A = this chain, B = another copy of it.
Amino acid sequence: MPTETGSQPTSHKYLKVRDYLVALAAEELAVGDPVPSERALTQRFGVSRMTVRHAIDALVSEGVLEKVQGRGTFVSAPRMDFEVRLSTFGEQMQRLGLSASTTVLDSGAVAAPAEVAAVLGVSPGAQVHHLRRQRRADGKPMAIEEAWIPVALAPRLFDDGPPPSLYDALRTHGQDPQWGEETLAADIATREECELLDMSENSAVLRATRRTHGDDGAVMFSRSCFRGDRYQVWVPLAPPHVPEKPSRPSPAPTTSKEDS
């Protein structure tokens, strides 16, 4: 596609204004600082006010700026990351400052079990890569993880042996993980899980089943079993759904407050 991003100095004046404001917010200004007024930008760029507003509105909806009528437009605080992301075990451990290690328990292509086939949307018995691993944090067993990926999506995925990161491997094989859904539930560990996780019998585990979607449907199904005493999930919660009425764009006046 010649949708060449870079260059094209001419195209789209509002993008110029936008880029200018983005740079300004990122480099020159601090959170809460006002950006130039719409009329000022109008003159600086020699464009009409509607064009300036177009640029600003885009940044407002992206959370970069916020507008307050009668006062101005301000650099908004980086908004809390309200989305739980498709992170890997390694990333999660890194965030916690722990070292992650892994032992592959099983690896290879198998015929998809019924449930797996259903979740992945492939015909039962279709070939799927299968990987089962024990994951440790600072050497201590933390979880057992099992994953299935349709062979048809990435035939050579396991050619170099089981990859250290399935997500990375999927990416390099043209199957970028786009989004996912995960279900969490508490359960009692099975005997085998107790062994692999080095737990006593009747211990609680957190079971997570995850379906990862790519550009064209489900790319992976995985089931993880975490030690209940060593793992917990943090979930940010967005405000309750507001019916419909726009009424308040609610600029969330981050400002004010603690300024002496």
Report the count of interface residues on A (CB-CB < 8 A): 56
B186 close to A210 (CB less than 8 A): no
User: Is A231 in contact with chain B by the CB < 8 A criterion?
Assistant: yes
B226 close to A84 (CB less than 8 A): no
Q: Which of A36-44, A104-112, A150-158, A235-243 contacts B (4 or more CB under 8 A)?
A: A235-243
B206 close to A188 (CB less than 8 A): no
Per-residue contact bits, chain A 156-192, to B (CB 8 Å; 1 contact, 0 not) = 0000000000010000000001111111111110000
Looking across the interface, which residue of chain B has its beta carbon closest to that of A26?
B244
Q: How many copies make up the complex?
A: 2
Most buried by B among A186, A237, A244: A186
Most buried by B among A57, A83, A178, A207: A83
B239 close to A182 (CB less than 8 A): no
* Cβ of A132 to closest chain B Cβ, rounded Å: 20
Per-residue contact bits, chain A 219-237, to B (CB 8 Å; 1 contact, 0 not) = 0000000101101111111
User: Is A247 in contact with chain B by the CB < 8 A criterion?
Assistant: yes
Which residues of chain B are near A237, meaning CB under 8 Å?
83-86, 179-182, 210, 212
A113, B183: Cα distance in complex, Å: 32
Which residues of chain B are near A18, meaning CB under 8 Å?
246
B206 close to A236 (CB less than 8 A): no
Which residues of chain B are near A202, meaning CB under 8 Å?
188, 202
A251, B231: Cα distance in complex, Å: 36
A249, B207: Cα distance in complex, Å: 35
Candidates B186, B238, B246, B249; contact of A83 at CB < 8 Å: B238
User: Is A196 in contact with chain B by the CB < 8 A criterion?
Assistant: no
User: Is A204 in contact with chain B by the CB < 8 A criterion?
Assistant: yes
* Cβ of A6 to closest chain B Cβ, rounded Å: 9
A235, B182: Cα distance in complex, Å: 5
B22 close to A186 (CB less than 8 A): no
A232 close to B183 (CB less than 8 A): yes
* Cβ of A145 to closest chain B Cβ, rounded Å: 15
A179 close to B233 (CB less than 8 A): no
Which residues of chain B are near A188, meaning CB under 8 Å?
188, 202-204, 228
Closest 3 CB pairs of A and B: A186-B228, A186-B186, A83-B238
Provide a sorted-by-A list of 22 A–B residue pairs whose CB atoms are within 8 angstroms.
Answer: A22-B246, A58-B249, A61-B61, A80-B179, A82-B83, A83-B238, A84-B236, A85-B240, A87-B240, A167-B240, A181-B235, A181-B236, A182-B234, A182-B237, A184-B232, A184-B235, A185-B231, A185-B233, A186-B206, A187-B228, A204-B228, A235-B235
